Structure 1
Amino acid sequence: MALTRLEKAQVWLTKAAMGVFYMLFRLLSPRGAEESLKRKLPPVINPLLVVSATQLARKIRRKEVSSVEVVRAYIDRIQEVNPFLNAVTKDRFDAALQEATQVDKLIEEETGGEEVLEDRLPLLGVPLSVKESFALQGMPLTLGLVSRKGVVATVDAAPVAQLKRAGAIPMGVTNTSELCMWWESNNHLHGITNNPYDLERIPGGSSGGEGSILAGAGAVIGIGSDIGGSIRMPCFFNGIFGHKTTPGVVSIENHYPACSGRQEEYCSGGPMCRYAEDLLPMLRIMAGPNAHMLSLDTKVDLKKLRFFTIPHDGGSAATYPVSKELIEIQRKVVERLEADLGVNVQEVRFPELRYGFQIWDTYMGLPDKEGKPPQQFAELMGEPGQPAWPVWELLKWMMGKSEHTLAAIGLGLMEMVRVTKPSAFLMQQKEKLQKEMDELLGTDGVFLYPSHPRVAPKHHHPFFRLSDCAYTAIINTLGLPVTQCPLGLGEEGLPLGVQVGAGKLQDHLTLEVALYLEKTFGGWRDPGAN
């Protein structure tokens, strides 16, 4: 059985529609914006900016450096690079300095020794950036919507609160795509965010502000959310580490937009950072009372794991082919694993992956157990007022009057023509793929899969590549943990990378592989030095 003619037509219409939207954008948008992006990010000078959060916390506890010094260093760096990146949308520098002063005072007065502080406050005095879709008390919670301008969080989202309780100091909130449902971080409230390796390219979305400021060394650790690749795509495009946790471990309470339908099954919060050694301690903290679900204290022997490599999705009509340089870098990972660890990396292929985007899109639209469907995107666009009318918004956009981005309008339009009855064929493909992957991986299997078909595209080009997020999105639908790992820079000086996935609740396996890949391929690179 294959896709019906109607389903095939939907794929074609989706790609064609986004192509038309992009043409409209190029024709109707003001010129000259590209010229302002021909600048280069300044290189990192302050040595405090190239130290992991784990090591910074240790230095602060040992009084080798004060928290105030570290926070000031990051304030200076944000002020230096944010005019290039437009990643941080609202800072809290004054409050951060006050909190850093309190940290230094606490350390001076502590009588229990460094071990007590490490156990109780493992991130004491370390700066933290926060994706704006997570509630951070006293900071904007707008989701890039003009209609939500002035909305301020009154509480902390659970993982934010847990990181703060561990001693981390929030520096501010970062930009997202409008309503977090597009893989370019652009909206009419805060503007467009740039990639630090090439300011004419996207940092990804929806955690694009996080990815951009982390890669630009304006932050050392950050927090993101992922329902279709919103942690992994920005981490890939920006050459940093990011982990999509097994769903249900990291709370997404007070994260917006709220999940509806069955979306909680696919959405995860997780850590984003420049240094692989920060992933596990961050995840342990962010998981809070659910940390016991994961085997984070289990020592992992990489030589005893079973490794698999999936080179591509099998040639989907909906996605671009994986580029030669990404195929090649994944092959090099395989070669190094086999040479260094003495393991055999088996190449496997799953025909169902070619339907990855359609499967994800189908499951995102399924109702919950009580039969209640997900909230309509047009309703979210209209918050806190009446639902938006996408056709009217498109006409307004063509006149330069809409408060919404073309991407959001396009998603609203596609929602209007969406088939309401889920495809039995696609659901069969998902269940078959789920069973095959679960049986293959077990509790000791790890797989490699491209993070994306291409390196970071230029601004607005995702209109032509709508379905390329399938490489990350399908893993959300399967509910597997996965870590995006940077693998150096490619031909154009842009980051390369790979996804490392494992069976459900086996997050500790992918985090250990991330440490190995950082040591082997060098990890994050200073974009200002390239």
Structure 2
Amino acid sequence: MGPRWFPSWVWFYVWPLIMLISRLYFLAVNLIFALYNYFQPRKWVPEPTDRLLLISATQSAKLISQREITSRQLIDAYIRRIEQINPIINAMVVSFFDDARAEADEADRTIENLNGDEVKELFQKKPLLGVPFTVKDAFEVEDVVVTCGVYNMKDVKSKSTAETIIRMKNAGAVLLGITNVPEASMWFESNNTIYGRTVNPYDSRRIAGGSSGGEGALIGAAGSVVGLGSDIGGSIRIPSFVGGIFGMKPTPNMVPLDGHIPVKRNFQGEMLRIGPMCRYAEDLPLLLKILVGPNASKLNLDEPVVRKKLRLFYAEGLQDCPVTQSLSYEMRHALRKAVKFLEMKYDTNATRICLPTANYACEMFVLSMEDETQSDIREWIVNPYSGQGKVDCWKELPVFMMGKSKHTLPSILQGILATVNPFTPGRHREVINMRDRLRDQLEQLLSDDGILLFPCWSVTAPFHNETVFEPFDLSYTALWNCLRLPAISCPLGLDAKGLPLGVQLIGMPFSDRQLIAVAQDLEEGFSGWTPARMQ
């Protein structure tokens, strides 16, 4: 394959050379970072020992309702865990511990004064009563500083609370804190000049992902049981993958975006999704039901899934894309194991498919993010609410090199790229048409009972700063934002280095319950979340 504007002789003679140079480049980058980090100390979070940290949010609520545990006991267990592991991973940046303890005590008093039937009725209305949750630093919380990783926002308090947080609180959940993000939530390594860098709970030398990186790291380290993330190019699924947990990007327009910053509209608003992140797949349907609120009936979440009627497909990544890494042995092996397990469980045969158009995912994402009516990253890193100026990233680059910038290198480089438009109007139309045709093709292929398994990423968690040299690997997740399809990142255990493996499940809109059912089956087959351990 090759770019369509190349003459045929280039396809035949030059394209293999381009691909060879690409593979040698990625090999060199991997080798350099591996050699450098070989001499760096590796840290990981200790395994949790408190049994309260090892049960799902659904089970926690059940035990609270049955008076077998109290909300205060659960909240205190998570606070102790956060105090233990946050100095290692730097995931939580704002805590509400005193308020959380007070809410837990109130929930316990309420339950204590009710009889059995009244408690049952209460938990039907508030299914997460007394259970903690956390959110990324991009959800507004009234009278609280929410920065979105932007230095100029470090003293700005929100004037309202995000609708999704309100829905979680109305369900009885207790907000424990806010977790770290990249600057303006626009990178896939969580680092900013306010709170610093979040590291991977399995290997401190590696990324925690982004933009919901603090959330993924905290949950993966058993410092939270469930949380809220947002995803416009993989910002839920990448942190969930490298953090060894479940992360879901739901069907578009089901979960409200009110109170999320930066604000996204038009096609970007279709790409951006708010969704749940959790250690246990059992929690996905409950969390999604709470988040979608009045839209729950559209997803038929309570309708049982007949597994053996599902059709399975899989694709082994982006095979012929020169700007992304090809799938590593570990990730390919994990994908095939997941496929084989589901084939045996469902007594069916999965179909391997090739998606040549998917190799243009990088172009699709860049052009799908273009919108002249909205601010770009040069304005977001001044203030996510925009309208307050624009950073000259060309001038900011030498300031960064001198160590005096309040911005991060990925944001500066993205700002520079925002000043360059390599696409002609004709190429723009061609890529957008290609994107829309691919969605139509997948709609015909998957229909309402097809599930596609696709790699979460080309490799396991990269080292810090390595992603600056491999930025387009984002295509593995961003493709599905461009196509506006629901997706779930599922953990598949650990590799020989002790790093999480995983796979994405993709379906058509409104297939959320089927995706959740398959995620629960993969948890059964691969044990789901696995704590970090010495290798």
Q: TM-score, normalised by structure 1?
A: 0.92
| Deviating more after overlay: 394-403 vs 168-177 | 394-403
- Find out whether 1:48 has 2:52 as its counterpart: yes
- Find out whether 1:290 has 2:290 as its counterpart: no
Q: Helix, strand or coil for the counterpart of 2:530?
A: coil
Alignment-derived partner of residue 15 in structure 2: none
Q: Contact 2:492/2:526 (CA < 8 Å) preserved in 1? A: yes
Rounded to whole Å, the distance in 2 between the matches of 1:466 and 1:374 is 23
Alignment-derived partner of residue 155 in structure 2: 150
What per-residue deviation string (whole Å, max 9, x for no partner) do you get for residues 363-422 of structure 1?
Answer: 111x4xxxx533121111222642111011102111111100000000000000124746
Amino acid at match of 1:467: F
Aligned partner of 2:474 among 448, 469, 477 = 469
* Correspondence list, 1:487-526, <5 A: 487-526=492-531
| Deviating more after overlay: 265-274 vs 394-403 | 394-403
Alignment-derived partner of residue 29 in structure 1: none
* Correspondence list, 1:155-304, <5 A: 155-304=160-309
Q: Contact 1:330/1:450 (CA < 8 Å) preserved in 2? A: yes
Rounded to whole Å, the distance in 2 between the matches of 1:37 and 1:254 is 40
Q: Contact 1:159/1:288 (CA < 8 Å) preserved in 2? A: no
Shift of 1:229: 0.2
Aligned partner of 2:80 among 76, 85, 88 = 76
Q: Helix, strand or coil for the counterpart of 2:476?
A: helix
Q: Contact 2:281/2:523 (CA < 8 Å) preserved in 1? A: yes
Shift of 1:523: 0.4
Shift of 1:529: 6.1
Alignment-derived partner of residue 450 in structure 2: 445
| Deviating more after overlay: 168-177 vs 418-427 | 418-427
Shift of 1:156: 1.5
Q: Contact 2:319/2:327 (CA < 8 Å) preserved in 1? A: no
Alignment-derived partner of residue 382 in structure 1: 382
Q: Contact 2:212/2:229 (CA < 8 Å) preserved in 1? A: yes
Q: Contact 1:139/1:173 (CA < 8 Å) preserved in 2? A: no
Aligned partner of 1:131 among 136, 161, 172 = 136
Q: TM-score, normalised by structure 2?
A: 0.91
What per-residue deviation string (whole Å, max 9, x for no partner) do you get for residues 98-149 of structure 1?
Answer: 0000000111122443421221110000010111101123332101111111
Alignment-derived partner of residue 423 in structure 1: 428
Shift of 1:150: 1.0
Q: Helix, strand or coil for the counterpart of 1:456?
A: coil
Rounded to whole Å, the distance in 2 between the matches of 1:379 and 1:53 is 38
Shift of 1:33: 11
Rounded to whole Å, the distance in 2 between the matches of 1:176 and 1:40 is 20
RMSD over aligned CA atoms reads 2.3
Shift of 1:36: 8.3
Q: Helix, strand or coil for the counterpart of 1:387?
A: coil
Residues 35 and 516 from structure 1, CA distance in 2 versus in 1: closer, same or farther, beyond 3 angstroms?
same
What per-residue deviation string (whole Å, max 9, x for no partner) do you get for residues 160-215 of structure 1?
Answer: 11011001001000000110110000000110000000011001000000000000
Rounded to whole Å, the distance in 1 between the matches of 2:144 and 2:284 is 25
Rounded to whole Å, the distance in 2 between the matches of 1:191 and 1:282 is 30
Alignment-derived partner of residue 481 in structure 1: 486
Aligned partner of 1:403 among 402, 406, 414 = 406
Rounded to whole Å, the distance in 2 between the matches of 1:139 and 1:88 is 14
- Find out whether 1:414 has 2:426 as its counterpart: no
Amino acid at match of 2:454: Y
Shift of 1:2: 3.7
| Deviating more after overlay: 129-138 vs 213-222 | 129-138
Q: Contact 2:128/2:172 (CA < 8 Å) preserved in 1? A: yes
Shift of 1:80: 0.3
Residues 40 and 333 from structure 1, CA distance in 2 versus in 1: closer, same or farther, beyond 3 angstroms?
closer
Aligned residues: 509
What per-residue deviation string (whole Å, max 9, x for no partner) do you get for residues 435-467 of structure 1?
Answer: 110111111111100000010000010011100
| Deviating more after overlay: 353-362 vs 269-278 | 353-362
Amino acid at match of 1:123: L
Q: Helix, strand or coil for the counterpart of 2:200?
A: coil
Shift of 1:528: 4.5
What per-residue deviation string (whole Å, max 9, x for no partner) do you get for residues 20-68 of structure 1?
Answer: xx99xx9xxxxx9998853331221111000000000011111101100
Rounded to whole Å, the distance in 2 between the matches of 1:525 and 1:73 is 19
Q: Contact 1:142/1:151 (CA < 8 Å) preserved in 2? A: yes
Shift of 1:4: 4.0
* Correspondence list, 1:326-365, <5 A: 326-365=331-370
Shift of 1:479: 1.0
Q: Give unpaired runs (5+ residues) of structure 1.
A: 27-31
Shift of 1:77: 0.3
Alignment-derived partner of residue 90 in structure 1: 94
Amino acid at match of 1:429: M
Amino acid at match of 2:303: T
| Deviating more after overlay: 47-56 vs 284-293 | 284-293
Rounded to whole Å, the distance in 2 between the matches of 1:150 and 1:208 is 22
Q: Contact 1:146/1:403 (CA < 8 Å) preserved in 2? A: yes
Aligned partner of 1:393 among 380, 385, 396 = 396
Rounded to whole Å, the distance in 1 between the matches of 2:184 and 2:239 is 16
Rounded to whole Å, the distance in 2 between the matches of 1:359 and 1:304 is 32
Rounded to whole Å, the distance in 2 between the matches of 1:279 and 1:73 is 22
Rounded to whole Å, the distance in 2 between the matches of 1:262 and 1:164 is 30
Q: Contact 1:90/1:174 (CA < 8 Å) preserved in 2? A: yes
Q: Percent identity?
A: 37
Q: Contact 1:261/1:373 (CA < 8 Å) preserved in 2? A: no
Rounded to whole Å, the distance in 1 between the matches of 2:217 and 2:272 is 21
Q: Contact 1:314/1:353 (CA < 8 Å) preserved in 2? A: no
| Deviating more after overlay: 336-345 vs 316-325 | 336-345
Shift of 1:314: 3.0
Rounded to whole Å, the distance in 2 between the matches of 1:66 and 1:529 is 33
Amino acid at match of 1:307: L
Q: Helix, strand or coil for the counterpart of 1:485?
A: strand
Q: Contact 1:34/1:200 (CA < 8 Å) preserved in 2? A: no
Aligned partner of 1:457 among 459, 462, 469 = 462
Aligned partner of 1:67 among 52, 71, 75 = 71
Q: Helix, strand or coil for the counterpart of 1:447?
A: strand
* Correspondence list, 1:318-329, <5 A: 318-329=323-334
